[in-house]
Amino acid sequence: MIDKMQFGRTEHMSTRVIFGAAALWDVSEKEAEETYNLLKQYEINHIDVAQSYGKAEMRVGPWMKRDRDSFFLATKTEKRTKKEALEELYQSLEKLKTDHIDLWQFHCLIEENEWEIAMNEGGVLEAAIEAKKKGLIKYIGVTGHGIDAPRMHYKSLMKYDFDSVLFPYNFIMMQNHNYSEDVNKLISLCKERKVAIQTIKSLAKGPVKEEINPYTTWYKPLTSEASIAKSVNWVLKNPNVFLNSTGDISLLPILLKKASEPLFTPSDEDMKALVSSQGIEPLFT
């Protein structure tokens, strides 16, 4: 059984592993149904998708049509203006076959110029506030990739009281002193305000270079049971965070299996040995 905890200030008790539906980017209806059955097997009750994730919203839609009450549903927009974002929100609602989104997130909001557009008059923040008043969404979050994500999320929380944040979090990235400081500063603020903390890239092994990547992730993932177990447990040892699963459905069974087993706390020595044996490199520098 995978543990549950309250998702920030919401009343929802989410599984600490959230299904990262980027994994449904280009899967068939049959593969999507097999994934749905796997999520039900492990009682995963929180889905994180995005308008920009290929076919993913369309694949999640049939699940919501028949089983909406079983899931806390999050999606994202990369639009920065109010008009464009609202148009995209209605598209997401149609694809997802639902009348409301539990968590609508501003996706990859880490560039200063985009942040200024999004957060000021005529920006996506106005769209979210309006959509919330209309009951189209319940909560508002912000997400980001890259080394600047925690710092920009802190800035976003100074502008508006968001309900959740999402950023990269794994052992190798936290060895970057500046990044670690930004993450810890953000986590401290989120704990104080009861903002939900979502993490991504738990299984990231490094950037794809010239080799062929047989997985649907844009980076090289860890694939062995032992390496996945250590990486998943390293993230979940932090009691403040959720782990968003990796973007390949073939790795999902191992990840869920390891997250459902009794948790252990890998030591720094364990993780350094993993980095060495697997040749792990930071995705963002």
Q: What is the pLDDT of residue 50?
A: 97
Query: Considering only CA atoms, which of 164, 178, 173, 160 is closest in space to residue 202?
Result: 173
- Per the prediction, the chain carries an average pLDDT of 97
202-241 burial by CB neighbour count: b if 16+ within 10 A, else e?
bbbbbeeeeeeeebbbebbbbbeeebbbbbbbbbbeeeeb
- DSSP secondary structure code for residue 123 in this structure: B
What is the tens place of the pLDDT at every residue in 143-196?
Answer: 999 999 999 999 999 999 999 999 999 999 999 999 999 999 999 999 999 999
Q: Is 31 exposed, middle or buried (0-12, 13-18, 19+ CB in 10 A)?
A: middle
Enclosing domain of residue 121? 4-278
Distance from the first to the final alpha carbon of the chain = 35
> Residue 284: inside a domain, yes or no?
no
- Whether the pLDDT of residue 210 is over 80: the answer is no
What is the tens place of the pLDDT at every residue in 9-21?
Answer: 999 999 999 999 9
> 211: pLDDT confidence band, cut at 50, 70 and 90?
confident
Q: Quote the number of domains for the chain.
A: 1
> Residue 248: inside a domain, yes or no?
yes
Q: What mean pLDDT is predicted for residues 261-279?
A: 97
- Tell me how far apart the alpha carbons of residues 251 and 243 are, in angstroms, rounded to a whole number: 14
Q: Is 34 exposed, middle or buried (0-12, 13-18, 19+ CB in 10 A)?
A: middle
What is the tens place of the pLDDT at every residue in 99-130?
Answer: 999 999 999 999 999 999 999 999 999 999 99
Q: What mean pLDDT is predicted for residues 47-65?
A: 97
> 1: pLDDT confidence band, cut at 50, 70 and 90?
confident
CATH code of the domain covering residue 234: 3.20.20.100
